[in-house]
């Protein structure tokens, strides 16, 4: 299927049906990372790379108890942070990035997480996915579409895109979807990927999006 934005009425109706179906499934989708402040969400998302939200939610309470804000984390040692985040994987690089990002937040942004995409991207360990999560979840700013492993997999299965490149997928989804849906769409697709369209064991017989899913039809 073409990866270009929908050009005909039939395809536009199909996309609209997918959006309606996702909204029926998840009318009020929420981020599943636990956090109390914008800073804590930023750190949790950095830790979530190649790691489950469940694991991150186990790690962050003691981490934030020891280092609750950017000021505290900026003064942490590499070893202190590594010990606390080790079970999330790639812990040395994550600890390094968390400390570096915290120092920049303190030095350049007065200790507050910035609400501007370019400023967020200037932080160590922050790419567009992380920046989009923080902007959408904490500031209600739809600067782009979060593309994680679930969004990449399901947007391909649903025939919304035909690419494995996160940057290209984000660009195409931004062109395809109404801007007012960018934030909610990612949350909904992530939850659908965790609840029903599970990798390698999808529950297609339980999926209300089945008739709109070329990927599922190809398996039959």
Q: Which domain holds residue 113?
A: 38-139
Residues contacting residue 119 through CB under 8 Å, at least 6 positions apart: 108, 109
Report the CATH number that the domain containing residue 214 is assigned in CATH.
1.10.1670.10
- Quote the number of domains for the chain: 2
Give 6-27 pLDDT, tens digit per residue: 457 888 899 999 999 999 999 9
The answer on 130 and 161 residing in a single domain is: no
The DSSP call for residue 110 is: T
Cite the DSSP H helix spans in 49-116.
Answer: 53-66, 70-74, 78-85, 91-108
The one catalytic residue among 129, 167, 203, 205: 129
Same domain, yes or no, for 186 and 215?
yes
Is the pTM for the entire model greater than 0.75?
Answer: yes
Question: Active-site residue among 12, 34, 148, 219?
Answer: 148
What does the pLDDT read at residue 140?
A: 96
pLDDT at 143 over 50: yes
Residue 148 among the catalytic residues: yes
- Supply the pLDDT for residue 218: 55
Cα–Cα distance, 58 to 87 (Å, whole number): 9
Provide the mean pLDDT of the chain: 94
8 Å CB contact between 145 and 174: yes
Tens digits of per-residue pLDDT, 89-114? 999 999 999 999 999 999 999 999 99
Stated length of the chain: 220
Q: Answer yes or no: is 4 within a domain.
A: no
CATH code for position 45: 1.10.340.30
Is 104 within a domain? Answer: yes
pLDDT in tens, 146-194: 999 999 999 999 999 999 999 999 999 999 999 999 999 999 999 999 9
Counting beta carbons within 10 angstroms of the beta carbon of residue 86, is it exposed (0 to 12), middle (13 to 18) or buried (19 or more)?
middle
Is 114 in the same domain as 192? no
Q: What is the pLDDT of residue 1?
A: 41
Q: Are residues 134 and 61 in the same domain?
A: yes
Contact 79, 96 (CB under 8 A): no
- pLDDT value, residue 2: 44
- Retrieve residue 160's tokens: 């919304």
Other CB atoms within a 10 A radius of the CB of residue 46 amount to 22
Whether 53 sits among the annotated catalytic residues: the reply is no
């Amino acid at each position: 299927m073409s990866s270009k934005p929908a050009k005909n009425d039939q395809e536009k109706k199909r996309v609209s049906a997918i959006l309606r179906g996702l909204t029926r499934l998840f009318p009020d989708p929420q981020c599943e990372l636990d956090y109390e402040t914008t800073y804590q969400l930023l750190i949790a998302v950095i830790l979530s790379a190649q790691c489950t939200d469940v694991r991150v939610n186990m790690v962050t309470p003691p981490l934030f108890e020891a280092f609750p804000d950017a000021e505290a984390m900026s003064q942490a040692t590499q070893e202190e942070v590594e010990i606390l985040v080790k079970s999330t994987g790639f812990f040395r690089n994550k600890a390094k990035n968390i400390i570096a990002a915290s120092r920049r937040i303190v030095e350049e942004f007065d200790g507050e997480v910035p609400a501007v995409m370019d400023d967020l991207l200037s932080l160590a360990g922050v790419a567009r996915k992380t920046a989009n999560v923080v902007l959408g979840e904490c500031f209600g700013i739809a600067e782009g579409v979060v593309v994680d492993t679930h969004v990449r997999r399901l947007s391909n299965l649903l025939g919304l895109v035909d690419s494995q490149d996160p940057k290209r997928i984000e660009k195409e989804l931004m062109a395809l979807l109404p801007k007012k849906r960018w934030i909610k769409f990612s949350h909904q697709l992530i939850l659908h990927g965790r609840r029903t369209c599970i990798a390698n064991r999808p529950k297609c017989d339980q999926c209300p999006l089945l008739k709109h899913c070329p990927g599922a039809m190809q398996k039959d």
